[in-house]
Chains A and B, each alone.
Chain A
Amino acid sequence: MNKTINQKAWYFVIPVFVLVAFNAAIPLMTVVNYSFQETFGNNVFAWEGTRWFKQILLSERFHASLGRQFAFTFIILLIQIPLGIGIALTMPKKGWGVPVCLILMSMPLLIPWNVVGAMWNIFALPDIGFLGYSLNAMGFDYNFTQQPGDAWFTTILMDVWHWTSLVVLLSYAGLNSIQPAYYQAAEIDGASRWATFRYIELPKMKKVLTLAILLRFMDSFMIYTEPFVLTGGGPGNTTAFLSIDLVKMALGQFDLGPAAAMSLIYFFIVLLVCWVFYNLMMKNEAQS
Chain B
Amino acid sequence: MSLELKNVEKKVGIDTHIHPTSLRLEKNTINVLLGSTLAGKTTLMQIMAGLDKPTSGEIWFDEKNVTGIKVQKRNCSMVYQQFINYPNYTVYENIASPLAITGVKDDEIKQRVGKVAELLKLSAMLNKKPDELSGGQQQRTALARALVKDSDLILLDEPLANLDFKLREELREELPKLFEDRDCIVVYATTEPSDALMIGGNTATLLEGKVIQYGKTLEVYSKPENLVSAKVFSDPPMNIAEIIKSGDNCKFTDNNVQWKSSAKIKDGTYKIGIRPHNITTYKEGNNSVEINGKVQISELSGSESLIHFTNGNLNWVSLSNGTQQKNVGEDTKLYMNTDEFLYFDQNNRLVNNG
List A residues at the B interface (Cβ < 8 Å): 179, 181-182, 184-185, 187-191, 195, 199-200, 203-204, 284, 287-288
Contacts and interface: CB of A to CB of B under 8 A. Distances in A.
B84 A187 contact: no
A190 B98 contact: yes
Contacts of A288: 129, 131-132
Contact of A188 (B78, B81, B89): B78
B125 interface: no
Contacts of A284: 129
B104 to A, nearest CB: 12
B313 interface: no
A184 B77 CA distance: 10
Given A199-B86, A199-B88, A288-B132, A188 B71 contact: yes
Contacts of B145: 189
A280 to B, nearest CB: 15
A189 B101 contact: yes
Nearest to B131: A288
Interface string B241-283: 0000000000000000000000000000000000000000000
Given A181-B82, A184-B51, A288-B129, A203 B88 contact: yes
Given A179-B82, A181-B80, A187 B87 contact: no
Interface in B116-146: 129, 131-132, 145
Contacts of A191: 97, 101
A190 B72 contact: yes
Chain B: interface secondary structure? mixed
B101 A190 contact: yes
Interface in B82-108: 82, 84, 86-89, 97-98, 101-102
Interface string B46-61: 1001010000000000
B83 to A, nearest CB: 9
Contacts of A199: 86-89
B77 A188 contact: yes
Contacts of B82: 179, 181
B32 interface: no
A200 B71 contact: no
A179 B51 CA distance: 15
B87 A204 contact: yes
A184 B48 CA distance: 13
Nearest 5 pairs of A and B residues by beta carbon: A203-B87, A203-B88, A181-B80, A190-B72, A185-B84
A204 B131 CA distance: 12
B72 A200 contact: no
Contact of B87 (A188, A200, A287): A200
A179 B87 CA distance: 13
A190 B102 contact: yes
A91 to B, nearest CB: 22
A204 B82 CA distance: 15
Given A182-B84, A288-B132, 13 more contacts: A179-B84, A184-B46, A184-B80, A185-B80, A185-B84, A187-B72, A188-B51, A188-B98, A190-B102, A191-B97, A191-B101, A203-B87, A288-B129
A203 B87 CA distance: 7
24 contacts: A179-B82, A179-B84, A181-B80, A181-B81, A181-B82, A184-B46, A184-B71, A184-B80, A185-B78, A187-B71, A187-B72, A188-B49, A188-B98, A189-B97, A189-B101, A190-B98, A190-B101, A191-B101, A195-B101, A199-B87, A199-B89, A200-B87, A203-B88, A204-B87
Nearest to A190: B72
Contacts of A184: 46, 51, 71, 78, 80
Max chain B Cβ within 10 angstroms of own Cβ: one of A181, A195, A204, A288: A181
B76 interface: yes
Contacts of B89: 199
Contacts of B88: 199, 203
Contacts of B84: 179, 181-182, 185
B122 to A, nearest CB: 17
Given A179-B82, A199-B86, A288-B129, A188 B97 contact: no
Contacts of A182: 84
Contacts of A187: 51, 71-72
Contacts of B46: 184
B102 to A, nearest CB: 7
B86 A200 contact: yes
A185 B80 CA distance: 9
Nearest to A195: B101
B130 to A, nearest CB: 9
Nearest to B88: A203
A287 B132 contact: yes
Nearest to A179: B82
A183 to B, nearest CB: 9
